Amino acid sequence: TVRTEMRPSHPHNGPRASRLRPDLLIEGPDVNVLADVVITTPTAPTYVRAGSSRTGLKAAHINAQRKVEKYAEMARFERRDLYPVAIEAYGGMHEKARALLNLIADRAAEFGGGGQHQRAETFAHVNAVIAAAVVRGNNRLVDTAIRFARRPHSTTVHRASGRFVVQLDPGR
């Protein structure tokens, strides 16, 4: 079962639970999963300094670790398996993201009765949906960059609270 769940904004029995909002909860007869998704750009200066130009999936690994640090306590409290879904903007996936795709494909084949053929189709479909979402996100990023580049005034881009903020300076 996959469902959307509203979590209360007030504290309840779990540590830090009221402030955490995982992206995905999957529940089934033998499945109890909490997952949170991050798309990262390995060419960002932070990741290049950390070695992403020398080590494959370095940015995905760094972000997967951050998700584990953020959600491990909640997953333990709720008795869920934690899957940090870290995907690089160029398509590479952290091993736990691939493991979650395999879990989904395995369960689809198991409960759908279609065997390995159904498993392969499910895996390919979920992978294609993720790839399309990453491409759409990359496209939006490029479109935004082009729009700002065409403006006649200077811009300053900085990162604040996990988001990129563009400050326009019309005086220049």
Decide the pairing of beta strands 32-40 and 24-27.
antiparallel
Residue 100 burial by Cβ neighbours in a 10 Å radius (0-12, 13-18, 19+): buried
Query: Could you give phi then psi for residue 111, rounded to 5 degrees?
Result: -90, -20
| d(C-alpha 118, C-alpha 108), whole Å | 7
pLDDT at residue number 5: 59
What size, in residues, is the chain? 172
Please choose, from the candidates 128, 116, 118, 103, the residue with its C-alpha nearest in 3D space to the C-alpha of residue 2.
103
Token digits of residue 158: 């900085």
- pLDDT tens for the chain, residues 1 to 172: 555 556 554 445 555 546 788 999 998 888 999 999 999 999 999 999 999 999 999 999 999 999 999 999 999 999 999 999 999 999 999 999 999 999 999 988 888 888 888 899 999 999 999 999 999 988 888 888 888 788 765 555 666 655 665 555 554 4
Query: What pLDDT is stored for residue 10 in this prediction?
Result: 42
Q: Which residues, other chains included, contact 157 with Cβ-Cβ below 8 Å and sequence gap of 6+?
A: 164, 165, 166, 167
How far apart CA 22 and CA 121 sit, in angstroms, is 27
Closest of 125, 15, 17, 112 to residue 5, by C-alpha:
17
In this prediction the pTM is: 0.73
Beta carbons within 10 angstroms of residue 88's beta carbon:
24
Quote the pLDDT of residue 170: 54
